[in-house]
């Protein structure tokens, strides 16, 4: 009857008098960033955006996500996939004379501390691609990128080795955001 399946002789309610029971909440999971994509299968996101002390790197991660401090939720193959356009920083600065020999910053910081940073992907910059595989991964991150003004990544800022104290002007790159 009128497009409804009903038992013969059953009176139909006036549907115009019924309400929908209120609004249904948005059941989608909030994204961890404005501009990004999942990296791997364990909830890590590559979140694009420039950062500085005025708009720190950590502000690129939203909804409880934080800039990754270790790579235990991403494999080497996922992290170093050459199809990733952009370098996505972790919170980990490196030290050493070249990227190949970069390692985690020690305490106290050693030679070249803060001259390279660990993360995933391939840096997008004006003058080449300053991403390199290191022989000494830091917290499971196998790649580093160099601080270099021509590539729009300026560091270390004021000798502070926190990512939030650095400046990266190229929005094609960004940070790795790990789930809460």
Q: How many CB atoms lie within 10 A of CB 7?
A: 6
Q: How far apart are CA 88 and CA 117, in angstroms?
A: 10
Structure tokens at 167: 């400046």
What are the boundaries of each domain within the chain? 32-178
Residue-by-residue DSSP string for 58-104 = GGG--TT-EE-S--TTS-HHHHT-TT-BEEEEEEEEEESSSSTT-EE
Q: How far apart are CA 159 and CA 166, in angstroms?
A: 10
Q: Measuring CA to CA, which residue among 70, 43, 50 is closest to residue 154?
A: 50
Task: Name the pTM for this structure.
Answer: 0.81
pLDDT, tens only, 65-116 = 999 999 999 999 999 998 999 999 999 999 987 888 999 999 888 888 888 8
Length of the chain counted residue by residue: 180
The SS3 assignment for 128 reads coil
Q: How far apart are CA 90 and CA 145, in angstroms?
A: 11
Judge whether 39 and 68 are in contact, CB under 8 Å. no
pLDDT, tens only, 146-180 = 887 666 788 876 678 999 999 999 999 999 999 99
């Amino acid at each position: 009857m009128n497009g409804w399946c009903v038992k013969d002789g059953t009176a139909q309610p006036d549907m115009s008098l019924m309400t929908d029971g209120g609004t249904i909440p948005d059941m989608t999971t909030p994204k961890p960033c404005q501009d990004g994509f999942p990296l791997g299968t364990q909830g890590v996101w590559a979140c694009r955006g420039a950062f500085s002390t005025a708009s720190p790197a950590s502000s690129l991660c939203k909804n409880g996500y934080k800039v990754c401090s270790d790579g235990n939720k991403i494999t080497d193959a996922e992290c170093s996939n050459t199809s990733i356009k952009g370098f996505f920083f972790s919170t980990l600065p490196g030290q050493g004379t070249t990227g190949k020999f970069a390692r985690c910053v020690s305490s106290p910081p050693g030679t070249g501390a803060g001259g390279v940073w660990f993360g995933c992907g391939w840096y997008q910059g004006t003058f080449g691609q300053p991403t390199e595989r290191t022989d000494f991964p830091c917290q499971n991150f196998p790649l580093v990128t160099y601080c270099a003004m021509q590539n729009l990544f300026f560091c270390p800022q004021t000798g502070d080795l926190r990512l939030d104290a650095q400046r990266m002007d190229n929005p094609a790159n960004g940070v790795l955001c790990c789930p809460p």
